[in-house]
Amino acid sequence: MMRTIEVLLVIFLLGAAYVATSAYINLPTPSAVSPVDLDRLAYTTLQELDSRYDLSSAAFETNNLTAWGDLQIALAASLPPNLVYNLTVYNVNTASNGAPLYTSVASASNAANLVSSDASSYLEASSNVTYISTPQQISVNGAPVTLYILDCSDTNGWWITGYTPSILAQTVYGLLSPYFKTTIMVQNTNQLSQLLDGHSLQGESINNAIVINTCGEAVPIPTNFGSSGINSTQGYDAKDSSYAMYDYTLGKITQLYNWTWVSIVGWPFYYVTNTGLLSSSQNTWGIYGMNCVYSNGLSAFLEGLDNQPYAYTGSSTGSPGVVYLTSQTQSLCNYYGLYPSDYQTSTRALPLSITSQYNLKVATYLFNNATIGGALYNPGAVYRHFVSTHGVTNYQGGFFALGMTRIPDIRLAALGILCDYQPARYGSLYTAAGSNRLVVLQLGIVGGG
């Protein structure tokens, strides 16, 4: 009996303590437990109103009663019924000391005042605002790099189906010339001969230059490098009846002047072309003004680039098929505003083994490597030739090969150069006075707290 009385007494005391304590406890309101994030809601609402440019149009047409009324209707429809708002548009100007000046030009509200509220802002720009981007000019050790584009009128192209060398030259000029202090279109093989002899065409520096060959698998050859020309020993291999010797000379000159030679498509140096010198010669496919050097041309060029003795030997390429731009290349596509397809077809990829064979280092992979029969191939890459002396490595001469199949996308050639040198683009904003407006949306909750 005593234990029952004790238990009842404990229950009574605990109940009394709970009642007494509850009198002093204030539980939070539901809105305090789970508050509405008004500033985030305000910003999201402004974004939604501007998704079809309705907000930007109304912000610059505050005197247009129809546009301003439609904006208020859309705003009211976007918000829950227990929210009140105040929408204010400010004109943005700049004071003499550079500080921003905000002047209210219009406002709309469904409440007399908002005592407790949150707000978000949104900056609108009118069509008078102009954004421009100024490219950095490519240089080496502070010295401007010259861009040469071979647009030789006395040559033919191969594996550039649907294009002419001149069309490709004009296109790549438009893509790349803003990045160079000097861009020169080499108009004929006589000018090319002058350049190969170490003489500038317009007083420009020929060292460290980039040379883009727009003839595809064919390489322009000046007449003086022909079999009976004054430079025949540098252009024609009489023993093997081949112009591979000319490609060997190109390699040595590329190394001498630290050029970067660009082959835009296919098998590099597979032909030589000069419609005058080779008028009676065709490339085995019926295109006259060309002579087939076969795979020996690429080997000869790389031998010359590495300062190896000339040897009449062949080279090989691989056919990996569909290949893909590297992730870094795709990222730089956005930066430079060049958008070739991220996958291409490669049937003339160079084997990675040439890097050890000719002292080359891959400076930039435009495409991911491909594996064929256990060996690695580069569908498109920029190679730098190096010489190591007493532990010091010096780079002298470069080669950019795009082993794509036919119909070249010349944007790939431009993209490879930009990815390798990575010049900066400096953005600028030109704006007229009053061409920016700041929209501020205040939100508050009524009732139901």
Query: Nearest to residue 307, comparing CAs of 396, 235, 426, 191?
Result: 396
What tens digit of pLDDT does each residue of 319-330 get?
A: 999 999 999 999
What tens digit of pLDDT does each residue of 211-226 get?
A: 999 999 999 999 999 9
Return the CA Rg of the chain.
36
Predicted local confidence at residue 327, as pLDDT: 94
Predicted local confidence at residue 437, as pLDDT: 87
CA 227 centroid distance within chain: 44
The sign of the torsion formed by the CA atoms of 287, 399, 298, 412 equals negative
Distances (CA, A) of 123 to 47, 70, 117, 245, 443: 11, 20, 20, 64, 18
Alpha helices, H only, 337-371: 354-357
- Cα distance from N-terminal residue to C-terminal residue, the chain: 52
Predicted local confidence at residue 19, as pLDDT: 57
Mean pLDDT for the chain overall: 89
Amino acid type, 315: S
Predicted local confidence at residue 364, as pLDDT: 97
- Return the percentage of the chain with pLDDT > 90, whole number: 64
CA dihedral 290, 291, 295, 298 (to 10 degrees): -70
**How far is the C-alpha of 430 from the C-alpha of 445, rounded, in Å?**
41
Q: What is the DSSP letter of 310?
A: P
Domain residue extents for the chain: 36-122+434-445, 134-428
**How far is the C-alpha of 134 from the C-alpha of 432, rounded, in Å?**
20
Average pLDDT (282-293) is 93
Under the banding of pLDDT at 50, 70 and 90, the label for residue 444 is: confident
Alpha helices, H only, 236-279: 244-256
For the ranges 51-55, 260-264, 325-329, 363-367, which has the lowest average pLDDT? 51-55
Q: Directed axis angle between helix 189-196 and helix 244-256, to 10°?
A: 50
What tens digit of pLDDT does each residue of 329-375 get?
A: 999 999 999 999 999 999 999 999 999 999 999 999 999 999 999 99
Under the banding of pLDDT at 50, 70 and 90, the label for residue 127 is: low
Predicted local confidence at residue 83, as pLDDT: 87
23 pLDDT above the threshold of 90? no
**How far is the C-alpha of 57 from the C-alpha of 40, rounded, in Å?**
23
Query: Nearest to residue 101, comparing CAs of 116, 90, 88, 112?
Result: 90
- Return the percentage of the chain with pLDDT > 70, whole number: 88
Predicted local confidence at residue 16, as pLDDT: 61
E strand intervals along 327-434: 343-346, 350-351, 360-365, 370-372, 375-378, 380-389, 392-402, 425-430
Predicted local confidence at residue 34, as pLDDT: 46
Predicted local confidence at residue 433, as pLDDT: 58
Predicted local confidence at residue 340, as pLDDT: 94
The sign of the torsion formed by the CA atoms of 221, 223, 229, 230 equals negative
1 pLDDT above the threshold of 60? no
11 pLDDT above the threshold of 70? no
**How far is the C-alpha of 188 from the C-alpha of 149, rounded, in Å?**
11
Those residues with Cβ within 8 angstroms of residue 305's Cβ, 6 or more apart along the chain or in another chain: 251, 252, 254, 255, 358, 385, 397, 399
404 pLDDT above the threshold of 90? yes
Predicted local confidence at residue 123, as pLDDT: 84
Predicted local confidence at residue 95, as pLDDT: 73
Phi, psi of 299 (to 5 degrees): -60, -40
Average pLDDT (97-114) is 82
Predicted local confidence at residue 33, as pLDDT: 42
**How far is the C-alpha of 382 from the C-alpha of 340, rounded, in Å?**
18
Average pLDDT (77-92) is 89
Structure tokens at 122: 């949104």
Query: Nearest to residue 362, comparing CAs of 419, 304, 424?
Result: 419
81 pLDDT above the threshold of 60? yes
Average pLDDT (96-123) is 81
